[in-house]
Amino acid sequence: MPELPEVERGRLVAEKTAVGRTCLSVHGKDDSIVFCDQSRARIARALKNKLITRACRHGKQLWLEFENAPALLIHFGMTGSLQAYPEGQEPPRFSRVELRLTGGIHLAMPDPRRFGRIRMRDDPRNEPPISMLGFDPLHQMPDKSTFRDMVVARRTTIKGLLLNQKFCAGIGNWIADEILYQAGIDPRTRTDGMDDSSIERVRRWTRKIIERSVEVNANSSKFPRTWLFHERWGKPEGALTRRGEAIEIMTVAGRTTAWVPSAQS
DNA sequence: CTCAGTGTTCAGTG
DNA sequence: TCACTGAACACTGA
């Protein structure tokens, strides 16, 4: 379930299970939607018998580097993930690609909905789609005044800005809602004209929520009890937060938005 | 059977 | 150019 923390979990899976091993073969159904740029066969040919040297991430983009170019670039879409399992075991349900590695390890990307994408890039950081992305909030959070300048230069809603991957790479729908709930800011607030203290609260909570969810390996049952996350899914309109505040649902920036009017202005 | 959905992109519009 | 809206994508599971 892929926002930055879930993708970072995928990166760690790859780092622990795949780095240092050689890719023996690449399997999966030919699928021009998932393999949107190069065919599965072409990827298989390019990666066969190459050593995996690094697992990297920027925002929601994940890639494996090999002893030489190209790299394998993976995006999880809405329902993708990465799983390792021993040789002899069936690939996970909805698996779209499987890498067979030395040492009897297989690495698969299950993705029921097929919004995920698998491509190759010679220099991933400096080519689209990654070159189009904004800063990664886990590693590149701007300082207070830079961040303020970036925010007020835009003319949109704060939620729309947080979701804009060209601004900040890795925030998705629930994280944007969580940031704005914790920061006490109405998701519809215009970015130009926001006061410095509100902007700084957004910056700090962005960092906090990203760090905290990465720390627990994106395991939502370990998120702090005070997070709106736990209340937003069952989401009968009128549900209450742990603090007894009424939660409302509206659409902002085209996305379902859970918020607490009494605590966000 | 219907419908929403942790994401992205594109066409059309202002 | 910037930004917004809505639709499309493909499919599961409630």
β A248-252/A255-259 pair status: antiparallel
- Match domain A4-129 to its CATH number in 3.30.565.10, 3.40.1350.10, 3.30.950.10, 3.20.190.10: 3.20.190.10
Catalytic residue list contains A3: yes
Q: Which residues are bridge partners to A190 per DSSP? A: A157
DSSP A98-151: EEEETTTEEEEEE-TT---EEEEESSGGGSTTGGG--B-TTT-PPPHHHHHHHH
Q: Can you give the pLDDT at residue A232?
A: 82
Q: Which fold has domain A144-259?
A: Helicase, Ruva Protein; domain 3 (1.10.8)
In this structure, is the CB of residue A189 within 7 Å of any atom belonging to strand C?
A: no
- Strand C positions with any atom < 7 Å from protein CB? 2-7, 9-13
Residues whose CB falls within 7 A of nucleic chain B? A 1-3, 6, 59-60, 75, 77-78, 113, 115, 129, 165, 172-174, 233, 235, 254-256
Which tokens is A51 given? 């050593």
| A192-242 pLDDT, tens digit each | 999 999 999 999 999 999 999 999 999 999 999 999 999 887 656 678 898
- Average predicted confidence (pLDDT) for chain A: 95
Nearest nucleotide to A251 by CA–C1' distance?
C5
A60 is catalytic: yes
The set of strand B positions with any atom below 7 Å of a protein CB reads: 4-9
Q: Is the CB of A33 under 7 A from strand C?
A: yes
Domain positions in chain A: 4-129, 144-259
Residues A139-159: tens digit of each pLDDT: 999 999 999 999 999 999 999
Q: Provide the sign of the torsion angle of the four alpha carbons A129, A130, A131, A132, taken in this order.
A: positive
Task: Write the DSSP assignment of A42-100 as a string of letters.
Answer: HHHHHHTTEEEEEEEEETTEEEEEESSSPEEEEE-TTT---EEEETTSPPPTTEEEEEE
Give this prediction's pTM: 0.96
Q: What is the pLDDT of residues A82-104, one digit of tens each?
A: 999 999 999 999 999 999 999 99
Identify which of A189, A165, A187, A167 has the alpha carbon closest to the alpha carbon of residue A178.
A187
Radius of gyration, alpha carbons of chain A:
20
Residue A257 exposure: Cα atoms within 13 Å on the Cβ side: 25
Q: Determine the pLDDT at residue A19.
A: 98
Q: Is A178 a catalytic residue?
A: no
Separation in Å, CA A41 to CA A62, A90, A93, A152, A209: 20, 21, 21, 47, 40
